[in-house]
């Protein structure tokens, strides 16, 4: 597979290593100084850039008929526009707030736990996420996905907010600590006990592997997909 990397920072470089190990070729890397480039000679593009340019990168790929994977977080106000464009152009697109295979299992665990505890009013849900200090958005895209999945099945909650005690709101604490690749904890606290589930990434390899697996899976398909489709969850 000929791959374009849109964003050549920590994730872009890790994806490059994994992709080469899996027999693929990186034919284009695009970073902030690269304003003119030809995306058409690639089989698939993988965007791990910054929130301000993610939608531009994704729509450029779709407009040139290049399947695109995006892991950039913090741009989701434009997600519906990307879906509409992809549908209109018969393109191929996957966004995931987290490409880690383990986190996608964790998402399912979170949904199941939320369903099980939704009838038990004594438990208050809260969340904590920890990332490295260079992360631009807070809370993390993964924490937002976890919160939205709980809201979908839990009648006591209808929104999330950073560090809040507001009614019907899942409180998310975001911590930024040097060198932490990503930790997410979901807590259900009652007066007598706490039930917690936690995912801790040890490095960026798992996100990168998931993104490359998603790119391999997307080739030859049209539509808008998620990691649940890729992993058949």
Neighbours of 43 (CB within 10 A): 18
In this structure, what token pair is assigned to residue 59?
């729509």
Structure-derived torsion over alpha carbons of residues 218, 221, 223, 229, reported in degrees to the nearest 10: -50
In this structure, what token pair is assigned to residue 66?
């290049």
Q: 3, 76, 92, 96: which one contacts ligand NAD (CB under 6 A)?
A: 96
Cα dihedral across residues 232, 185, 117, 172: positive or negative: negative
Query: Applying CB under 6 A, does 42 fall inside the site for ligand NAD?
Result: no
Q: 55, 99, 106, 107: which one contacts ligand NAD (CB under 6 A)?
A: 99
Query: Applying CB under 6 A, does 59 fall inside the site for ligand NAD?
Result: no
Q: How many residues bind ligand NAD (CB under 6 A)?
A: 26
Residue 112 Cβ, how far from ligand NAD at the closest point, in Å?
21
Residue 48 Cβ, how far from ligand NAD at the closest point, in Å?
4
Q: Find the binding residues for ligand NAD in span 145-184 (CB under 6 A).
A: none
Q: Of 131, 154, 184, 199, which residue is the catalytic one?
A: 131
Measured in degrees and rounded to the nearest 5, phi and psi for residue 151 equal -60, -35
| Cis amide prior to 139 (ω within 30 degrees) | yes
Residue 122 Cβ, how far from ligand NAD at the closest point, in Å?
34
Closest CA to 217 of 201, 228, 202: 228
63 contact partners, CB below 8 Å, separation of at least 6 = 85, 89
Query: Applying CB under 6 A, does 72 fall inside the site for ligand NAD?
Result: yes
Query: Applying CB under 6 A, does 53 fall inside the site for ligand NAD?
Result: yes
Per the annotation, the verdict on 135 as an active-site residue is yes
In this structure, what token pair is assigned to residue 154?
């839990």
Q: Which residue is nearest to ligand NAD (CB)?
A: 9
The residues that are catalytic are 131, 135
- Give the footprint of ligand NAD on this chain (CB under 6 A): 6-12, 30-32, 48-50, 53, 71-74, 96-100, 134-135, 207
């Amino acid at each position: 597979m000929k791959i374009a990397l849109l964003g050549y920072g920590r994730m872009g470089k890790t994806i490059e290593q994994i992709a080469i190990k899996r027999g693929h070729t990186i034919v284009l890397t695009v970073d902030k100084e690269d304003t003119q480039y030809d995306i058409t000679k690639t089989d698939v593009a993988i965007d791990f850039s910054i929130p301000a340019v993610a939608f531009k990168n994704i729509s450029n790929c779709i407009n040139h008929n290049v399947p695109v994977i995006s892991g950039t977080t913090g741009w989701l106000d434009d997600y519906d526009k990307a879906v509409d464009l992809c549908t209109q152009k018969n393109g191929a697109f996957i966004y995931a707030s987290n490409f880690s295979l383990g986190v996608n299992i964790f998402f399912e665990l979170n949904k199941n736990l939320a369903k099980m505890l939704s009838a038990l009013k004594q438990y208050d849900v809260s969340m904590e996420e920890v990332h490295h200090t260079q992360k631009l958005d807070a809370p993390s895209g993964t924490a937002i996905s976890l919160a939205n999945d709980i809201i979908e099945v839990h009648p006591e909650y209808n929104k999330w907010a950073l560090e809040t005690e507001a009614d019907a709101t899942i409180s998310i604490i975001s911590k930024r600590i040097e060198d932490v690749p990503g930790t997410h904890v979901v807590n259900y606290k009652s007066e007598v006990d706490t039930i917690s589930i936690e995912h801790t990434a040890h490095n960026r390899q798992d996100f990168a592997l998931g993104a490359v697996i998603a790119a391999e899976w997307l080739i030859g398909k049209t539509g808008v997909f998620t990691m649940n489709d890729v992993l058949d969850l």
